[in-house]
């Protein structure tokens, strides 16, 4: 029998599974092994993945920030499929759009337009792409249109269309006439009668320079439960179960299982939305095109700073000092930093002192210089295309 660190229930050993306390969508597969644990039950792994991790990942700001990193490291000499960028719910009403459906607009790397007609989930209204479970189980339809810029490098468009909505039950329909290649080779289907109506509709609606008024659904507390979960997981990975048996940990658990109408837990930290941002601080704590996690002790406790690039920053206190031994505090006394580059399948861990020395130019870090040079190599490719 073991105790799950999230639901705090004892269960049989076969009910537990691998958990990346720093989720894989942030690059958790490339963190130190100590952040990959087997003390989370399958039920929490699945449900918190859908309602907490995905609630953060699928937020419009976070989703597009993470997707832009793929563009930053794009190599035109070795092209890969670039992710589509969600542009919110379209004001277009295509033929036979049902009340339970939404027409969501996505943008390709060269300005291509994609209209995904999918089921709407009111509970998860802010999720870019909707409910991930529904998307895997229920067939939906997406309509793809090339742009004029696609002619500058059609392979970029082709690869992006090929990889679009991978892992989801999406019937992909081409609205642009393609010569020399067959869209069915990259997963597109032949249009039926309804698709033919919609092809005519979307081609007409997208002709010329027509102004669209999309709506971006936004839930202001999308990050609250996620930060609490992240704090619990990292606290356990670093110091074990004892840090989860404190009054402050109880507040983190209230945050993890928080429901609308519940009293606000007493958690110390700040979010990316409701606190004034200091551009200098963000540039210092965040690395361009990376997920940067800084763990640092203060007299008030041990804090975690989560940075997406240099534009989005969250801070949360995840443990107090009074129940840690001097040896445990000594391990992180100066703080340390984890930098994750998911597109490159790389993770770098260093002391906070080394990181700040790199950021201020006192002593550059060799690996970060290498990665920076990769970014600089093609950073203006799309601008100059």
Confidence of residue 59 (pLDDT cuts 50, 70, 90): very high
Task: Check residue 279 and give its pLDDT.
Answer: 79
Read off the pLDDT of residues 105-138 as tens digits, 9 standing for 90 and up.
999 999 999 999 999 999 999 999 999 999 999 9
Confidence of residue 103 (pLDDT cuts 50, 70, 90): very high
Residues 6+ apart with CB under 8 A from 8: 244, 253
The torsion of the CA quartet 266, 270, 274, 279, rounded to 10 degrees, works out to 170
Beta bridge partners of 288: none
Mean of the per-residue pLDDT values of the chain: 95
Residues 144 and 117 in one domain: yes
Residues 86 and 25 in one domain: no
Residues 357 and 298 in one domain: yes
Whether residue 210 is predicted with pLDDT greater than 80 in this model: the reply is no
Confidence of residue 276 (pLDDT cuts 50, 70, 90): low
Of 150, 128, 80, the closest CA to residue 344 belongs to: 80
Read off the pLDDT of residues 321-366 as tens digits, 9 standing for 90 and up.
888 888 888 888 889 999 999 999 999 999 999 999 999 999 999 9
Task: Check residue 385 and give its pLDDT.
Answer: 86
Q: Is residue 70 part of a domain?
A: no
The rounded distance, in Å, linking the Cα atoms of 186 and 178 is: 13
Domain extent for 284: 2-57+221-378
Number of domains in the chain: 2
Whether residue 209 is predicted with pLDDT greater than 80 in this model: the reply is no
Residue 351 · residue 336 · CB < 8 Å: yes
Classify burial at 170, counting beta carbons within 10 Å of its beta carbon; exposed 0-12, middle 13-18, buried 19 or more.
buried
Q: Is residue 336 part of a domain?
A: yes
Residues 181 and 311 in one domain: no
Read off the pLDDT of residues 307-333 as tens digits, 9 standing for 90 and up.
999 989 999 999 998 888 888 888 888
Strands 170-174 vs 140-145: parallel, antiparallel or unpaired:
parallel
- Which pair of tokens denotes residue 210? 């027509």
Read off the pLDDT of residues 280-317 as tens digits, 9 standing for 90 and up.
888 888 999 999 999 999 988 999 999 999 989 999 99
Q: At 229, is the secondary structure helix, strand, or coil?
A: helix
Residues 229 and 370 in one domain: yes
Q: At 177, is the secondary structure helix, strand, or coil?
A: coil
Residues 189 and 226 in one domain: no
Task: Check residue 339 and give its pLDDT.
Answer: 98
Q: Is residue 362 part of a domain?
A: yes
Classify burial at 7, counting beta carbons within 10 Å of its beta carbon; exposed 0-12, middle 13-18, buried 19 or more.
middle
Final residue belonging to a domain, choices 153, 181, 205: 205
Q: Is residue 216 part of a domain?
A: no
- Which pair of tokens denotes residue 361? 């130019």
The rounded distance, in Å, linking the Cα atoms of 343 and 69 is: 7
Residues 193 and 225 in one domain: no
Task: Check residue 312 and give its pLDDT.
Answer: 93
């Amino acid at each position: 029998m073991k105790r799950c660190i999230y639901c705090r229930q004892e269960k049989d050993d076969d009910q537990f599974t691998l958990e990346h306390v720093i989720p894989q969508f942030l690059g958790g597969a490339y963190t130190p092994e100590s952040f990959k644990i087997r003390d989370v039950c399958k039920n929490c792994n699945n449900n918190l993945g859908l309602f907490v991790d995905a609630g953060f990942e699928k937020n419009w700001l976070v989703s597009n920030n993470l997707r832009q990193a793929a563009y930053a490291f794009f190599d035109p000499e070795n092209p890969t499929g670039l992710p589509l960028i969600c542009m919110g719910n379209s004001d277009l009403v295509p033929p036979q759009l049902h009340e339970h459906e939404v027409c969501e607009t996505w943008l390709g790397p060269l300005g291509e337009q994609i209209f995904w007609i999918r089921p709407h989930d009111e509970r998860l209204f802010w999720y870019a792409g909707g409910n991930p479970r529904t998307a895997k189980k229920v067939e939906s339809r997406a309509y793809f249109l090339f742009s004029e810029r696609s002619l500058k490098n059609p392979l970029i468009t082709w690869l992006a269309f090929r990889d679009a909505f991978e892992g989801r039950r999406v019937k992909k329909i081409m609205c642009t006439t393609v010569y020399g290649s067959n869209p069915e080779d990259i997963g597109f289907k032949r249009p039926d009668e309804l698709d033919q109506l919609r092809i005519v509709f979307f081609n007409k609606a997208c002709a010329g320079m027509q102004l669209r008024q999309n709506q971006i659904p936004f839930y202001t507390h999308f990050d609250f439960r996620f930060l609490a979960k992240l704090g619990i997981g990292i606290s356990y990975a670093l110091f074990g179960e004892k840090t989860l048996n404190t009054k402050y940990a109880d507040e983190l658990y209230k945050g993890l299982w928080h429901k609308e109408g519940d009293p606000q837990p007493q958690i110390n930290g700040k979010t990316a939305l409701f606190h004034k941002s200091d551009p200098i601080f963000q540039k210092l704590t965040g690395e361009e095109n990376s997920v940067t996690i800084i763990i640092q002790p203060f007299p008030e406790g041990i804090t975690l700073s989560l940075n997406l690039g240099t534009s989005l920053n969250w801070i949360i206190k995840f443990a107090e000092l009074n129940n840690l031994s001097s040896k445990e505090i000594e391990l992180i006394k100066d703080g340390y930093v984890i930098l994750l580059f998911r597109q490159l399948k790389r993770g770098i861990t260093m002391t906070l002192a080394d990181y700040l020395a790199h950021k201020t130019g006192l002593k550059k870090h060799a690996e970060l210089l290498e990665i920076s040079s990769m970014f600089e190599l093609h950073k203006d490719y799309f601008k100059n295309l």
